[in-house]
Amino acid sequence: MNRKVVSRLGIFFIGVPLIIMLILLNQMNHLAIHIVVTAVSVVAACEFYHILDHNFKLQNKLFVIILAGIINLAMLLRAVFEFDVSYVDFVFVLAILISLAVEVILNKTFENSNSHIITSISIITYAGYLLTFLTRMTFLKNSRPVLIMFLTMVFFCDSLAWFFGVLFGKNNKGFIKASPNKSIAGFCGGIFGSILSGILSWLLWKDIFTGSVAKLILLGALISITSIIGDLVESVLKRSADCKDSGSIIPGRGGILDSIDSIVFSAPVFYFTITHIYPALLQ
């Protein structure tokens, strides 16, 4: 049994039940999810730092990782103390300003400043801020169905893209240089998977996701595209750094970034779209 099959079976039989358990534990605005996402953010920042370190000069490692981690820590504190989300956005801006202030005030030479600034902002945003849109879903009305729908859209996209690619993608792969093993059949399978998740969510929770199923079909198609883009972006980052995986923390799968690349860009798109088409979720 090859490595990818083992890794996907592991996700299905171990990862999925753990995620469901976290979603069901909704005490204190899903505090358990906030704790996990904060830890994931720190590890992701560490992995992203190592990827960028192959090509760029960076600020101090611990300094940058702390700046990325405090954003999701602020979201965790929001779950406990229930302050306004604008404070989390403020912490994000403050983290960037601190990074810039250190660069312009404490440095004696500036030949690497452009590299320092670009990489620090990228790590703070990618591994820190964008993940807050996953935990923002915990504050929505009917947060459990929303979280389940989002995560199944991403999971179905990834799984069916792989499945369709294996079955039908042998003769139509290689058209994207960033990831030569990706196939047209795989992309079609991914889009189908996310749309299927949207339809199933509509059938299960019609009283929550009211109106036409077309809303969730379009949302599923949109999330499949952002999931695929997220996966391709990480492939480009790794290829540029000449590394196969972002890390080795997950046996048979690689690093944390290898597992959340589809979520990072999809979470904000899903959050803004779902709250726009179903504004009652914000009440």
pLDDT in tens, 250-272: 666 678 998 899 999 999 999 99
Q: Which of 192, 257, 253, 244 is nearest to 223 (CA)?
A: 192
pLDDT digits (tens, 9 = 90+) for 24-78: 887 888 999 999 999 999 999 999 999 999 999 999 999 999 999 999 999 999 9
Claim to verify: residue 110 and residue 151 sit in the same structural domain: no
Claim to verify: residue 158 and residue 281 sit in the same structural domain: yes
* Among 139, 159, 181, residue at a domain's last position: 139
Claim to verify: residue 180 and residue 282 sit in the same structural domain: yes
* Among 105, 139, 173, residue at a domain's last position: 139
* Among 87, 121, 139, residue at a domain's last position: 139
Range of the structural domain that residue 81 is part of: 26-139
Q: Which of 144, 133, 281 is nearest to 204 (CA)?
A: 144
Claim to verify: residue 237 and residue 145 sit in the same structural domain: yes
Total number of domains constituting the chain? 2
Residue 173 is assigned to a structural domain of this protein? yes
Residue 3 is assigned to a structural domain of this protein? no
C-alpha angle with apex 72: 70 to 76, nearest 5 degrees? 105
Residue 5 is assigned to a structural domain of this protein? no
Claim to verify: residue 124 and residue 256 sit in the same structural domain: no
What pTM does this model have?
Answer: 0.92
Residue 2 is assigned to a structural domain of this protein? no
Claim to verify: residue 154 and residue 282 sit in the same structural domain: yes
